[in-house]
Every structure is written in structure tokens, then in C-alpha cells.
Amino acid sequence: MLKKVNPFWKKFLQDLGFDEDVKNFVKKIKPPWKYIWLILFFTLLFNFTTVIQPLILAKLFELINSEKSIWLLNLIVLGGILLFLIRGVSQYFQGYLLAKASQEVLTEKRKEFIEIVFKQPVYVLERNHSGHLVSVVISNIAAIVSDLPGLIIGYINSIITLIFSLSWIFYKDVTLGFMTIFTLPALTFVLKHFFKKVENIAELIQQKISHLITGMNEVFRYMRVVKVFNREEFEKQRVFKLIDEYKNLQLRLARISMLQKPAAEFVASLSLIVITWYSGYLVIKGVLKPFDVIAYWGYVAISVSPITNLSASLFNTRVIFGYIKEFMKTLSSLNINEFDNSLYEYNQDIVFRGKITFDSVSFGYDENKILDKVSFTIYPGQKVAIIGKSGIGKSTLISLLVKFYKPIEGKIYIDDIDIEKINPNILRKNISILTQEIYLFNDSIFKNIEYSKQGASMDEIVEACKKAEIHDEIMSKKEGYNYVVMEDGKGLSGGQRQRIALARLFLKDSPIVILDEPTSALDKINTEKIVKSIFTYFKDKTVIIISHTIDVIKEVDRVFTIQDGKIIEQDKSLLQSKS
Ligand SMILES: Nc1ncnc2c1ncn2[C@@H]1O[C@H](COP(=O)(O)OP(=O)(O)OP(=O)(O)O)[C@@H](O)[C@H]1O
Ligand SMILES: [Mg+2]
């Protein structure tokens, strides 16, 4: 598209910050036409009431001069009242419908973005900070969409008034017309200067908001750590610094934006001064009637403000394009849809028997290899313990199995099907995981457990909780299952959280069960009870359990150790006699 326009405009659009990113963004906006037609109607009406004013004024002077009729004077004044009434009404509808249209687009864009976020695999999402994603939804999209319609109306208003006034002036006198527009080229130079200055500020502002949200979220969530290390002052200053940096950027933008308006106005006024002289000259020469001068001045007055408004609109466009660029940068990092059916052969529900095979699987988060050509097979119904020192790659192994991350080389099979060919939805239906860190939502205990099986009945949930040895403790709370867990699981003990998370797995009832340190927060008695539950109720399932607890090692069929990126199967009888 850029190639077809002439070089001057091409250069101008480039200075304005228009590029492929902006083009792609604009192309994807679905304008709410039902409002747009109405907005256009009221905008035209509003503009009509603007451009008609000088004509009425001139007519008024002419009439009171020639007719000397009070009756006519009154009529014109009444017409004036009606005109301003129409103006007010159209301004109201224009503004309200505009807000409505922009809210619709805003909401749609936000939902669209969230839709994209949910399609991303874990390894893509973990590259983006959650605070950044929040800031995109809350601030970045709003900054673009809320200002966009006002900007478009600004353009329409400026252009209509400009065209109307200029046509009239040209009609009256061509020389005058040229005098009015002679400042326009000078104005583009002024604007270019300001475009340069504003470059990147919009992007920086959005980045700063993202840092601010991220920083505050972290501090507010980890208040206990902050307090226990007496770091309130430090954290406060850290947040203050971000707030100040944000303020400085906003001020920089305000300085430039406030400067461009008087600069544009000054340049536009130059024509005014030249015209003053020339119109006076024309009156003296008898070319222009004195009444024409009144109307003419009215037009000059209303043509200066659309020129400066146009300049302000262009400046704001540059700012919005900056916001769009920052948005598109985030969007381009979220370019995968892990649930795209066309990527897989298996998109229909399958219930696996639970055979798991790793074939020469290697993996590292960066250049450091954590797993190096790891191979093993676990048969349906087997119970396997994985041991190995901290940070060696036990949890990583599990992340690969549920496709949170992809192996660098090698293949993983479930029931001899390459998991690359299985839609993650289907795969994860077959696997229950108790992650090492426990995630509970700020919702009732009931809802937290039901999370693993939507629509589960109270009886099912109670049964799962009994298996997880947590039912009695839930009942000892006044609200029982309706007890609302606070943010990050606060309000429950570490061991209670762990058992509630385990209850989710008993409820889900999938053929493969993975437990990452399921008893790490439990005392000896509870550990014994839980281990017994696990091996009783998951008897028919394939179970992988990361644990160094002797109660667990005793119960499993096989023990794997991870060491130097390799997996080694231990001789269980030897291990038992050693312990
Ligand atoms: N998302 C990640 N990005 C980069 N490196 C990571 C990531 N997660 C883990 N690591 C690194 O990978 C290595 C293996 O981590 P992993 O969590 O698998 O260890 P682990 O065996 O489960 O340890 P632990 O017993 O302490 O839970 C560690 O050195 C860790 O620092
Ligand atoms: Mg781990």
C-alpha cells in the first residue's frame, strides 16, 4: 500500500509512524458501523451549525442595515437559538455514540487479546511477565482505542470546516484563498519536527506502565517477605522510582504536545496577518464590500482553528501509532496456538491406558542441557518414583510430558503415540498433576476442588477429600466447603493446601497420575496416611511420583534417579536393603 502513494505522502506517513504493524492493527479493527453512520450524521449536523454561523452573521448585519426591521431581527435571533439547540443535541449524540462505539471496540480488542493469551503454550507465556500482559489488557489497548474515535472525529471536524471555509474564500477571491493556505507547507515542517521529538515516547510510556504493574503486584503479593526482612522502605522506594519515571515520561510527552499547539497556531496565524493587510487593501480598492469582510473574517477565524486542530490530530496520531507498535510487539511474541487442530492427528477424546515412553529425550531451558538423551518406558499401572538432587531436572521431566516445554531432541510417547501428534487438551485430560508449587484460587474450597472436574457433585468432592485426608479439617472450619481461600492459598496451612490440591486429582480420575513432592509439607503421620491413600486409590493408574520419602520408595515398583542429565534405574531390592 505504501508503495503506491506518492513520495511526499509516503515520507509523511513514515514520519507519522505508519508502518506494517500499524497497518495490520488497523486492518483488524471491525468498525461498529451501526454507530458510525449515526455518529457521522451528528458530526455533519454539528459541523453544519459551525460553518453556517459566519453566513448568518453577515446576513444579519446586511439586513439590519438595509431593511431596518425589528421583526426580521427577531426572526434571525430565533433561528440562532434553534441553531444552537441543534448544535447542542448533535454534540451530545456525537459524543455519547462515540463513547459507546469505542467501548465496543475496546471490549472486543481486550477479549481478542485474552483469547490469544490462553492459546499460548507455557513456554511462550513464561517469557512474558504476567504484569506485562495485565498492562496490555488494561492500559495499552485502552490507550489506543479510547483515543482513536475522538481522533477520527477531530479529523472529520477539521476537514469539513476547512474545506467549507476555504471553498468560500476561494470563491470570493482566489488570491485570498492562496494566502489562507500558504502556511500549510510551513506547518508540515513544524509537525515533522514534533513527530521526531515524540518518537518512542508512547512506546516507553506503555513499557513503564507494564513495569509499574509488575513491580506493584510483586510487592503487594509478597508483603510477608518484605516485612520479615524489614524491606518496606526499599520496596517503597523501588515503586516510587517507577512512578516517578512514569511521571517524567508523561511530562516529556506533555511538554512536546503543549509546544506543538502554539507553534502550529503561530504558523497558521502568519496567514492571518498577511490577509488582514490584503483584505483591507481590497476594501479600499472597492473590490470587497465591507460586509464581505465581516463574513470573510469569520471564515478566516474558523479556518485557523481547524488547521491547528488538524496539526494536533496528526500529533496525537503519532502518539497512538506508538501505542499500537508497542501492542504489536507483544502480540508478535504470542504467535502460537497450541490448540490448533490442524497441528495434530489426535483431536478427539481418547482414554489412554497409560504407557509412557521417553526416547532419547534431551532438553535445556538455555544452552545448559538438563536432560541428555533420556530413555525409559513405564508400563500401564506401574508406580515409579523419581529421585535426584534438587535442581537436577525432575520437575522439568514432567513439564515435557504435559507439553509445557518441548524437547530439543528425541520423542515422548503415550500408548506408543508421539505426543507431538496429540492435541494438548486431549493429552492433559489423561494426565493429573500435583505440581510442586500449589496453586489455589481465591474462591471456595468446593470450587477449588471442583476445578479438576467441572460440575462434580458435593458427594464426589467429599469422597475425594476423604481420600486426601482433608475432609475433617475442612469440616472444622465454620463455613466448611464454602470457606473462601484467600489469594495464593492464604487462610490454609501448607499441608492443607497440598491435600486440597491432591483431592483435585482423586476427583479428576485420569489414567496417568503425576505427583511432584506430594508430601513435602506434611508431618510423618499425615505422610503415612497420604501415601497409603495414593497407593490404594491410584492402584490401577500409571503413577509417577517425585519423592525421597522412604514410605513412597517402599511402595513403588521402580525407582529412577536423575544424575548428570541421565536417568538411571535403581535396583529396588538393593535400595531397600541399603535404607
Ligand atoms: N522456567 C525455567 N527457565 C529456566 N531455567 C529453569 C526453569 N525451570 C527450572 N530451571 C532450571 O532447570 C534446572 C532443573 O529444574 P527442576 O525444577 O527440573 O529441578 P528439580 O529436580 O525439580 O529440583 P527440586 O528438587 O528442587 O524441585 C534447575 O537448574 C533450574 O534452575
Ligand atoms: Mg522440582
Average pLDDT over residues 291-299: 72
CATH code matching the domain that covers 108-333, chosen among 1.20.1560.10, 3.30.420.60, 1.10.260.40, 3.20.20.70: 1.20.1560.10
* pLDDT for 75: 82
* pLDDT for 579: 59
CATH 1.20.1560.10 boundaries in the chain: 108-333
Ion ligand 2 — residues with CB < 5 Å: 395, 436
Residue 393 vs residues 356, 374, 427, 565: alpha-carbon distances, Å: 18, 11, 22, 8
Q: Quick check: helix, strand or coil at residue 127? A: coil
Q: Look at residues 158, 203, 177, 167 and name the one whose alpha carbon lies nearest to residue 314.
A: 158
The Cα 494–Cα 229 span in angstroms is 21
Per residue in 351-375, pLDDT (tens digit) is 999 999 999 999 999 999 999 999 9
- Quickly count: other Cβ atoms within 10 Å of residue 409's Cβ: 11
Task: Answer whether 437 contacts ligand 1 (Cβ < 6 A).
Answer: no
Task: Answer whether 436 contacts ligand 1 (Cβ < 6 A).
Answer: yes
Q: What is the pTM of this model?
A: 0.84
Alpha carbon of 242 to ligand 1 centroid (Å):
31
* pLDDT for 577: 66
Phi, psi dihedrals of residue 210, rounded to the nearest 5°: -65, -40
Per the DSSP assignment, residues forming a β-bridge with 431 are 512
Homologous superfamily in CATH for domain 356-578? P-loop containing nucleotide triphosphate hydrolases (3.40.50.300)
Residue nearest to atom 17 of ligand 1 (CA): 395
Task: Answer whether 395 contacts ligand 1 (Cβ < 6 A).
Answer: yes
Q: Look at residues 570, 574, 545 and name the one whose alpha carbon lies nearest to residue 559.
A: 570
CATH 3.40.50.300 boundaries in the chain: 356-578
* pLDDT for 299: 66
Per residue in 11-47, pLDDT (tens digit) is 888 888 888 999 999 888 888 888 889 998 998 899 8
Lowest mean pLDDT of 53-57, 114-118, 229-233, name the range: 53-57
Confidence of residue 1 (pLDDT cuts 50, 70, 90): very low
Per residue in 377-426, pLDDT (tens digit) is 999 999 999 999 999 999 999 999 999 999 999 999 999 999 999 999 99
Give the nearest ligand 1 atom to 394 CA: 21
* pLDDT for 578: 61
Whether the pLDDT of residue 469 is over 90: the answer is yes
Mutate to test the pocket of ligand 1, among 370, 404, 435, 520 (most ligand atoms within 8 A of CB): 370
Q: Look at residues 361, 345, 399, 353 and name the one whose alpha carbon lies nearest to residue 541.
A: 353
Provide the strand spans (E) within 322-403: 356-363, 371-378, 383-387
Q: From the CA of 399, which ligand is nearest?
A: 1
Give the nearest ligand 1 atom to 393 CA: 18
Helical pair 290-333 and 20-28, crossing angle rounded to 10 deg: 100
- Give the mean pLDDT of the chain: 89
Per the DSSP assignment, residues forming a β-bridge with 563 are 566
